[in-house]
Structure 1
Amino acid sequence: MWKSIASNALTLFIVVLVVAAGLLAWGREQFTGPGPLAEAICFRVEKGDSLSAVSRALEERRAVSDARIFRIGAEYSGKADGLKFGSYLVGAKASMEQVLADLTAGGQSTCGREVNFRISVAKAEVVLRELDAATNRYVEVVKFDPAAEASPSAYIDVTEADDIRWRVTLAEGVTSWQVVDALKRADFLSGEVAAVPPEGSLAPDSYEVERGADRAALLAEMATRQAATMAELWATRAEGLPYDTPEEALIMASIVEKETGIAEERKRVASVFINRLEQGMRLQTDPTVIYGVTKGEGVLGRGLRQSELRRETPYNTYVIDGLPPTPIANPGRLSIEAALNPDKTDDLYFVADGSGGHAFAKTLAEHNENVAKWREIEAKAGAAEAGGVQD
């Protein structure tokens, strides 16, 4: 009898072990295998949320198949107390293991809303965007110019949220004065700026910041990036360039930046100015003259007057020889590359060609023909504007 009882107990024990092993294998498969989500979603973890509350919310939104397995997996992996508040992009078919990793990784939110303060040559504007989880693309919610209009309620309502990502984007060709002037209107930044940084010393780039970040510290980061870019590219410059210092190359890069917005043209534009320097010709470029008029403080907003083209200033390259004394804007990496590794051409002239680009020429006669074509395009455009365009 006792042998029978012992045998039955052993059999039951083995059955229990087999069932437990099966359940464990099934649970592991559920935890690491593809999840039930058909499309990606944004999932928010609030400050102070418990693992139990988060697991139930995930189950309700079909991000996980079983809240209990998610909790057990979190406990087993030692991440039960590691939830970080914020908004997270949970991808389609993401496993519980991946969801847990995302929600405990920390750092910036991977989903939700972003405020991008964009500083361009024409103006600075605040853009509030929200990530569409289904397409993984940001959708613009509101955009406004803080210099010309009050902050809309759609922006004000979200600025105190913890999971907002803040970004400052500096476009190529903006002057240092414009950068400082714009940053003063960025209400999510703090601190004073003692002085405008040297022209050309700030790197056009996108900078992720925190709410309340110091303006001076941000400008210092911009300067650090530009110095690093300049040092890197100066070390790989072409031989025989007419620059004695990196500062002179930066001046040339700023002129190239202001002369063309076509990336493919930059090295050829640089070759024109370098050829002129090497032949002792004046640069004769309008952007330098404009900088002499505005001092970089805003946009001229009109054409240059003949008196301004004749006036002798340190920046009037129709009058002075060689380069102006400083850069005339903050050039981007591509323009610096163009100044330090220009195309090898015999071009000495260029003029707009009506396509957004330029027509280049080796001789003055060829250049005059290109200018005549451009004047004809301008005249036709002016006539069409005056007479109206008919559909």
Structure 2
Amino acid sequence: MDKDALHARIDRHLPELVALRQDIHAHPELGMEETRTAALVAARLRAMGIETVEGVGRTGVVGTLRGRRPGQGAIGLRADMDALALTEQTGLPYASTSMGRMHACGHDGHTAMLLGAAQVLAEDPDFAGTVQFIFQPAEEGRGGAPAMIEDGLFERFPCNAVYGMHNMPGIPLGHFALREGPLMAGSGRWLVTFRGTGGHGGNSPHLAHDLLLAQAIYLQALQGIVSRNVPALESVVVSAGHIVAGSRESLNVMPSELVVGGTMRAFNPAMQDLLERRIRELADHAAAMQGATAEVKLWWNAIPLINHAEGTDVLAAAARGVAGDSGVDVDTPPVTGGEDFSFMLRAKPGAFVFLGAGAAPDGTVHALHSSHYDFNDAALPHGVALWVNLVQQELG
């Protein structure tokens, strides 16, 4: 199928894809709760005549499409389905109908684009081999990719390689950006619970363990990890985002327990190990200075996302077939955002690419995870075209 014919076919489906995307947007579901979205995806795939399996990794869906020509090759195309725990403030007519739930990362668009590609390919499966359409739950920190892999994803649905895509506001609409090697950081969380006696902050503060002072010392010390423990040419992030202690109704009471937590990012195992060690050590030292104790929990929602060399070349070639040479950046800077597609790339060769989502008509760019963000529907045909072009290129 030539480029003009492909775009003509996509254009015929575009109104339906936009409506589908906006429907998913209006009904967001958190990770491992995507029952409505998964049912919608499965129904669409079956209506296309695509063999469909539900419940992979709890709420994941996989559709299998075999080409009409003989071939042993198989590739996986992955989209994520989950939303974020965020209250939408876009005011759109299709805004979230679930309070505190929002598609603020564009997974509604990713799901619609992969369904659009499945539709185009199912109508004319002129390729040799098999495509696995992987609709993954729980990308946003709830372990969706590991859950699918542990449920036998690649044994039950064999793939020689697997590919993923994510929209990126600010990159020109319809352009693509990727790089060989580390593209996205490992994304982790840390949580420290300080415990002490507590006490009366006015009458006898000298008899209490001051946990608020312990956390103040701790947060200051954390900022020294990057500046004094990390080599200057490495990229590492440590940020706090959560503190809970005491009561507004009892401002004179020094709390006996304080919880502080945040995120950590790194691009390689050595820096991951460094972060874990220093976050623990500094918590113990800060607690000890006040005669208190510290309990530390750390975990990684995603490991560093590392694009394989051959997969990067393959995906870049498919992208050039859609956007031309000038529309594909193969040396985009790594980003410290996390992505659990990294677990799939650890299990199988392949690559991940950013799809340019452009900006609003007034030039505004709302970042991912913003309460004002909305997936740009104008990006849908570009994403569909990339997936179809990739299949025709690799299984042609």
Q: TM-score range by the shorter chain?
A: under 0.3
TM-score relative to the length of structure 1: 0.20
**Structure ID, larger Rg:** 1
* Structure with bigger RCO (C-alpha 8 Å, 6+ apart): 2
TM-score (norm 2): 0.20
| Higher share of residues assigned strand | 2
Answer 1 or 2: which has greater helix percent: 1
